[in-house]
Amino acid sequence: MTVNVTLLAVMGVMFATGIYLLLERSLTRVLLGIVLIGNGANLLLLATGGIPGLAPLYVEGAPAGAYSDPLPQALILTAIVITFAVTALLLAIIYRSWVIARRDEVVDDVEDRRVAAQSSFDPEEDTEIPLETTEFDPAAIPPPVDGAGTPAGEAGTGGPR
Amino acid sequence: MSAPLAAVSFAPLAVALPLLGAALAFVLRRHTGAQRAVTSSTLALTLVLEVWMLAGAWRHGAQAVLLGGWAPPWGISMVVDEFSSLMLVVSTCVSLAVLLYASGQGMADGERGGSISVFHPAYLILVAGVSNAFLAGDLFNLYVGFEILLTASYVLLTLGGTTARIRAAVTYVVVSVVSSVLFLLAIGMIYAATGTVNMADLALKLGEVAPGTQVVLHLMLFVAFGIKAAVFPLSFWLPDSYPTAPAPVTAVFAGLLTKVGVYAMVRTETLLFPGDRINSLLMVVALLTMLVGILGAVAQTDVKRMLSFTLTSHIGFMVFGLAVGNVVGLAAAVYYVAHHIIVQTSLFLVTGLIERRGGSSNVDRLGSLARLSPVLAVLFFIPAMNLAGIPPFSGFLGKLGLIQGGVELGTPLGWVLVGGSVATSLLTLLAVARVWNRAFWRKAEDAENPAPVLLATTSSGSPMTTYGTAANSGSRGDSALLPRGMVVPTAALVSLGVALTVFAGPLFQLSEQAARQMLERTPYIEAVFGAEATYAPGSLK
């Protein structure tokens, strides 16, 4: 099988620039990157179809080897349609993002940042357990004789449930 | 070619019916009631058809239907075997339950018109894409199935177009497109190397390709499916994008989309590239997926995000079963996929209910739910314990099977994986128990920032009321805040998860049969090419 070097070189450039654009923060550039790598993939499919210039469909009396392979062309057609639909949808999303926030950028996840910044101290699990763990009504317990204990009025909040 | 093939010859309808239903639902977009009826009856009909196909596959093994009567490898074939039909039945059950839940939510909120009318058509297209991916007998059709479901999922994820959803959608769409392009590149290269994209034909021809080329093709497919299945280094996108969507959408995404990726990985490893070339890599990936995912889950305070992290973590269990490479492990992986689809979806549905009842899905704001709504507590508790793998439930049975597979393998890496999976189960229990303790058991007053709706119901009666009246006032709030149309589908899905335990015997038998047939490979190939295929048996190795 002969290899079309021009096709391969174009494909390489498309992938390189596409991936570069994909790593940008601006959404429009990301979209352009997606278009480029999508079409790079289409070129690869085209290259698998063999050398160009062969009979596409049916030529009277042509030998079997003189036909080009129709399958990659069918695959490319499907892939182009899919890339087209996704591009349109992404454009709509980018436009919406612009309408809402006036920005054309990938935004950080706020919740992610919050979880990452929270301290390892968990009030539920890490606070020291108070010494007084009785479940009895504190009001029913006689106050200490020296009178320095909790006044009965405050203790009453933990009444029967 | 006559009576026993009856069920399988209707296989294309599993894709066509939802697509037709989607078209009809789109036409009826102004009539919400008719749209709901069309969508749910389409799914119910599809489910009946798929159960019939499952019965056929169970009795007769793998069967193929050749679209348009074109002989393989030229025509498009759809293959129904035990694994694909089991996945179809489970996925459609879950989709139907989620659809009823979404309809119940819509009815309760009185939503009409606007972007909501897009929900039903997009949902049916998603189901069609999932079915197409499960049935696909050639790689390109699998790609088309993926694209159908992804495009529908882009629409569902951005419903309403709020700031948070647009932000999530950008990550999701870009990552999905990159994985699709990788998949397309792999298809192109595979076609260049073998001259076919039919999976049964590839199973015969890929073995003759130079080993170096095989590794490249294998790894490209692995990375493409790994992004979709969210295995460890490629799972960063999932917890970012799933939690922002509406509850039913997140539920169906969590249940189905990653599992389609897992399904494709299983097919790649068993049918296209058998042998243990990358099994060690798979094991390391499985271990890291489990551990990193669950450590992320433990750190979260938002229930939806916590569940998204457990979702990525438990994908590791399935990859574990696949990497072990013996019948026991693979059978357990098949069972685990079915279990996880149902349980993860029901947990997300319950989280939707928690959000309605408690006004938030953040455990810092929740409390008292066990007292305010005992029904909700039961609905959360059962799938949560199921996910963590507490003995009577199916999660335990699946994990037990995986551990048996790992022990049977006996290599040091296998033992490390067994240990890692046990640790992951325990940490899963920790993560769901924290939600249980905080959202259900503690008093709302003790929460860091209690949601007003919880406090209102608690303090409306005097603090000194007896338990009975408090429960009564709680249940009065329940009927308003938890519409029956949402609770009943959730309860149905939770009981389906319990049914996986009750019918574990036949189900494990089915998964074992599926695993054996997949590892044998000949049933699949013979189903496509016919028993009198022109290949030499020696070429199968």
Question: Residue ranges per domain, chain A?
Answer: 5-52+67-111
Torsion angle, alpha carbons of B164, B165, B167, B172, to 10: 140
Torsion angle, alpha carbons of A31, B197, B226, B263, to 10: 130
Yes or no, beta carbons of A37 and B169 under 8 Å apart:
no
Instruction: Give the helix, strand, coil percentages of chain A, each rounded to 5.
Output: 60, 0, 40
Lowest mean pLDDT among B15-29, B112-126, B371-385, B438-452: B112-126
Confidence of residue B484 (pLDDT cuts 50, 70, 90): confident
Average pLDDT over residues B169-187: 91
CATH number 1.10.287.3510 given to A5-52+67-111: yes
CA distance B277 to B261: 20
Which residues in A lie closer than 8 A to residue B439 (C-beta atoms)? none
More confident of the two residues B533 and A79: A79
Q: What pLDDT was estimated at residue B383? A: 92
Lowest mean pLDDT among A33-42, A107-116, B268-277: A107-116
Confidence of residue A67 (pLDDT cuts 50, 70, 90): confident
CA distance A108 to B240: 10
Lowest mean pLDDT among A117-126, B208-217, B417-426, B504-513: A117-126
Lowest mean pLDDT among B59-68, B296-305, B462-471: B462-471
Question: What single letter denotes the amino acid at residue B46?
Answer: T
Q: Chain A residue with minimal CA distance to B447? A: A124
Among A44, A100, A159, the residue with its CB nearest the CB of B464 is: A159
Q: What angle do CA A25, A27, A32 make, to 5 degrees?
A: 110
A27, A118, A124, A157: best to mutate for the B interface, most B CBs within 10 A: A124
Average pLDDT over residues A129-154: 58
Nearest to B284 by CA among B383, B453, B382, B416: B416
pLDDT tens across B136-146, in order? 988 999 999 99
CA distance B293 to B329: 21
Size of interface A-B (CB pairs under 8 A): 101
Nearest to B337 by CA among B351, B326, B321: B321
pLDDT of A86 higher than 60 = yes
Strand partners, B362: B302
- The residue to which tokens 């599809």 are assigned: B46
CA distance B245 to B241: 8
**In chain B, what is the straight-line distance between the N-terminal and C-terminal CA atoms, in Å?**
29
pLDDT of B478 higher than 80 = no
Confidence of residue B465 (pLDDT cuts 50, 70, 90): very low
More confident of the two residues B315 and B366: B315
Nearest to B21 by CA among B160, B157, B149, B123: B123
Percentage of chain B lying above the pLDDT 90 cut: 37
Q: What pLDDT was estimated at residue B132? A: 93
Q: What pLDDT was estimated at residue A141? A: 66
Mean of pLDDT over chain B: 85
Q: What pLDDT was estimated at residue B316? A: 92
pLDDT tens across B198-218, in order? 888 888 888 888 888 999 999
pLDDT of B186 higher than 90 = yes
Strand partners, B80: B63
The token duo for B335 is 């069972």
Q: What pLDDT was estimated at residue B1? A: 42
A82, A105, A112: best to mutate for the B interface, most B CBs within 10 A: A82
Q: What pLDDT was estimated at residue B167? A: 85
Question: What single letter denotes the amino acid at residue B328?
Answer: V
pLDDT of B232 higher than 80 = yes
Yes or no, beta carbons of B181 and A41 under 8 Å apart:
yes
pLDDT of B113 higher than 50 = no
Yes or no, beta carbons of A89 and B154 under 8 Å apart:
yes
Q: What angle do CA B449, B453, B459 make, to 5 degrees?
A: 90
Which residues in B lie closer than 8 A to residue A24 (C-beta atoms)? none
Which residues in B85-111 are b (16+ Cβ under 10 Å) and which e?
A: bbbbbbbbbbbbbbbbbbbbbbbbeee
Q: What pLDDT was estimated at residue B381? A: 92
Q: What pLDDT was estimated at residue B541? A: 37
Kindly state the DSSP code that residue B391 receives in the 8-state scheme: T
Yes or no, beta carbons of B185 and A41 under 8 Å apart:
yes
Which residues in A lie closer than 8 A to residue B192 (C-beta atoms)? 47-48
pLDDT of A158 higher than 50 = no
Q: How many helices and strands in chain A, by DSSP H and E?
A: 6, 0
Q: What pLDDT was estimated at residue B526? A: 84
CA distance B456 to B181: 52
CA distance B190 to B209: 10
